[in-house]
Amino acid sequence: MGCDTNYYGNNKLKDITLALKSTSDALYMRNYLLQNLENAMNTSDPELRKELLTFVIVGGGPTGVEMAGALAEMKKFVFPKDYPELSFDEMSISIINGGDRLLATFSPELSVKTEKHLQNLNVHVVNKVFVTNYEDSLLTLSDGSSLKSKNVIWVAGITPNRIGGLDAASIHKNGRILTDRYNLVKGENNIFAIGDIAFIEETQGNPQVAQVAMQQAATLVENLNNEFAQKKVFTYHDKGSMATIGRNAAIAEIGKHKFSGFIAWAIWCFIHLISIFGPKNKLIVFINWVWNYFTYDQSLRLIIKPLKRSDCELD
């Protein structure tokens, strides 16, 4: 079931901002942002060009930080080669974060280092501020300020996808499904929930990350295979958290150890590489990473749009 983007009650933002929860979202965002760069290159209106070159990321979690770092490095190394007619001194990148600091699930020490690195990349970080409205390219903030942008990326939170048929007593106030330590849904005999959508009452929930879902799956499979003859409770073992900020920069917390900068970035690359299935895939990804690292380039930046044909219908 998984989760969807959380707009905190302002659901009209769903149709006018960019989300990043699926491959489809990512492809749409790429096409949209590249098209806006094309539009900026072809307009003679300086105000419109400024709006097209203003990028606002709503959300200060790992996704928002990684997105800001990626855009900042593309602004420096990639876009000037693709659009030499544009002055990328006009391009601005901002993160709007409702919390006290970026990456609230990490230690304050690493949050400070993350913010400093983003500021060195000319990313404007705004903390303790919420988005109140976005209309006609005008983003209004809770402190009374506003931004004009045609590129608003919403990664501020997640909300569980709903499933019908469950009793209201089985649903937590945050929308997640209540379960016991065996992942059995509250009030049910043979329905189980794991991953982002599940909320274990006894432990007051777990982080909505892949490691939790994988560990819950392993425990549940073991219990189902032995028909719960020897019931094994689920206990989450935190193997650490990581987030990339940009080229040669990341943060990592593994147990009591904290890493930042190039060392954390190297750890992030290694762990993601060994997680890829199959030696051939690992080799291909590694070669691509090495090529991109030394050439400062990415894959072809083609704007791909769906074909609409009124004379073609699927039965």
What is the distance between the alpha carbons of residues 102 and 82, in angstroms, rounded to a whole number? 31
Task: Examine the domain organization and report whether 49 and 187 are in the same domain.
Answer: no
Which pLDDT tens digit goes with each residue over 16-47? 999 998 888 999 999 999 999 999 999 999 99
Q: Which of 159, 189, 213 is the last residue of a domain?
A: 159
Q: Is residue 145 part of a domain?
A: yes
Closest to 121 in 3D by CA, of 59, 55, 58, 61: 55
Task: Examine the domain organization and report whether 125 and 211 are in the same domain.
Answer: no
With beta carbons less than 8 A apart as the criterion, state whether 183 and 220 touch.
yes
What is the distance between the alpha carbons of residues 37 and 33, in angstroms, rounded to a whole number? 6
Task: Examine the domain organization and report whether 167 and 148 are in the same domain.
Answer: no
Element (H, E) at 158: strand 158-160
The answer to whether residue 56 scores a pLDDT higher than 70 is yes
Task: Examine the domain organization and report whether 148 and 167 are in the same domain.
Answer: no
What total number of domains does the chain contain?
Answer: 3
Task: Examine the domain organization and report whether 187 and 213 are in the same domain.
Answer: yes
Quick count: other Cβ atoms within 10 Å of Cβ 101?
A: 17
pTM over 0.85: yes
Amino acid at 166: L
Task: Print the domain residue range for 277.
Answer: 241-295
Amino acid at 145: S
Task: Examine the domain organization and report whether 85 and 175 are in the same domain.
Answer: no
Task: Examine the domain organization and report whether 166 and 256 are in the same domain.
Answer: no
What is the distance between the alpha carbons of residues 33 and 54, in angstroms, rounded to a whole number? 11
Q: Is residue 49 part of a domain?
A: yes
Which pLDDT tens digit goes with each residue over 289-307? 888 888 876 666 778 777 6
Q: Is residue 128 part of a domain?
A: yes
Task: Examine the domain organization and report whether 19 and 89 are in the same domain.
Answer: yes
Residue 11: what pLDDT? Answer: 84
